[in-house]
Amino acid sequence: MKKLLTILFLAAVVLTMTAQTARDDIKANPWLAGSNYVDYDRQLPDFKYTPAPMDYVPFYFSHYGRHGSRWLIGDDIYERVLRPLRKADQQGKLTAVGQQTLSQLEQFNKTTALRLGDLTTVGERQHHGIGKRIAEHFPEIFKSQGVAIDARSTVVNRCILSMVAECEELMAANPTARIHNDVSESLQYYLNQPREGRVKEAHNNIDRRALGEFSENKTHPERLMKLLFNDQQWAADSIRQGALMRHLFEVVINMQSHDDGIDMLHLFTNDELYDQWTIANASWYVRYANAPQSGNTQPYSQYNLLKNFIETADTCVALGKPQATMRFGHEVCVMPLACIMELGTCNASINDLNQLDRYWQNYKIFPMGCNIQLIFYKPTSGKGDILVKALLNEREVTLPVEPTGTPYYYKWTDLRKYWTDKLAKF
């Protein structure tokens, strides 16, 4: 009976998650087409969590979070859009919309000087919000006298500043908290993205030609070119149209990362936004998720990180007092970590990339500021199992073992064994 109830519960979760399609999501909120550029605060949950079983209280918090919204990365990322538009302008080939687009991008490009990859004010605000809510949702941990909080970051500035923003909120909520911050190359082996052995080999053997063909089939620049250029023959002869469309989309969709960003979504139709999203969704899936196209190995890039979660939990659970472990890094860790942990439906294995959007949507996993939280609970009597609950972007998600009688709560001994056995088999 218990197993049947579990199956029915999981089926209900899947139905709830898939009732609205990705196309519906993006039509309702076009910024979701941004994949890893999505502003975390654009899709906050209702925070109505399932109460813990009677007489259980949270005592340990374990976390990995991505940095918040940022400027785009890459020295040429804005210029590769501006160059063809400047060229067209010099030859009188821009429409009025094309001229406006060029003018807006030239003005914005000035703000990017020496800023590429930096955390923006939007990203800082995301982490202040996350930190504040963590303290509010789990006061038994974060507002306890002298709680020890160990916070570690990769050596990248935007990650360090994201860590600082959350820790500021945790200290504001509890001035007695003892927060230890650490940033070091010595931590990179589990906080960042190592690629070794079978994982690296599978990543190198990805059929990039197939991904390229998928991208080309989803890129239809004809309408956009007519919107920007007044001479279509010139545009066909002088512009790499598909590349310009994809590069312009990347700049436009990341405007949500800036308080002073320019809303240029009107340059794209809903269908074009959706198609550009499907390209990114497939690319991220094949390169980092449990994709058969890359040998179902990519989640194991986070072998060291998951091992750190397990080993750190062993220590903190044994101590039994309020504590927190905070880790800060990148989406290339959060996404495969969510897969290897088998949070909800993150670990889905889909053979047909044309069907991927029905079952796996990247914006639900790794927006800017995305995070995975494990909350450990102990019985107030001191006798009984340690339980654990998982949150993905502050939403309750299922774990890959049999739950207790309370949905979303699992025995740590069961989950620990499952994950340890999984790592051992790899």
Position 338 scores a pLDDT of 98
| Parts of the chain with a pLDDT under 50 | 1-18
Q: Give the helix ranges, DSSP H, for 289-349.
A: 303-319, 331-340
Query: Rounded to an integer, what distance in angstroms lies between the CA atom of residue 166 and that of residue 132?
Result: 7
Position 26 scores a pLDDT of 97
Average pLDDT for the chain: 94
Query: Rounded to an integer, what distance in angstroms lies between the CA atom of residue 121 and that of residue 12?
Result: 38
Shortest CA distance to 364 belongs to which of 12, 38, 6?
Answer: 38
Query: Rounded to an integer, what distance in angstroms lies between the CA atom of residue 203 and that of residue 39?
Result: 28
Helix axes 303-319, 331-340, angle to 10 degrees: 70
Query: Residue 115 gets which letter from DSSP?
Result: T
Q: What is the DSSP string of 202-245?
A: HHHT--HHHHHHHHHHH---HHHHHHHBS-HHHHHHH--HHHHH
CB 134, CB 166: distance < 8 Å: yes
Position 15 scores a pLDDT of 39
Query: Rounded to an integer, what distance in angstroms lies between the CA atom of residue 357 and that of residue 387?
Result: 33
Burial profile 388-415: b = 16 or more Cβ within 10 angstroms, e = fewer: bbbbbbbbbbbbebebeeebbbbbbebb
CB 120, CB 112: distance < 8 Å: no
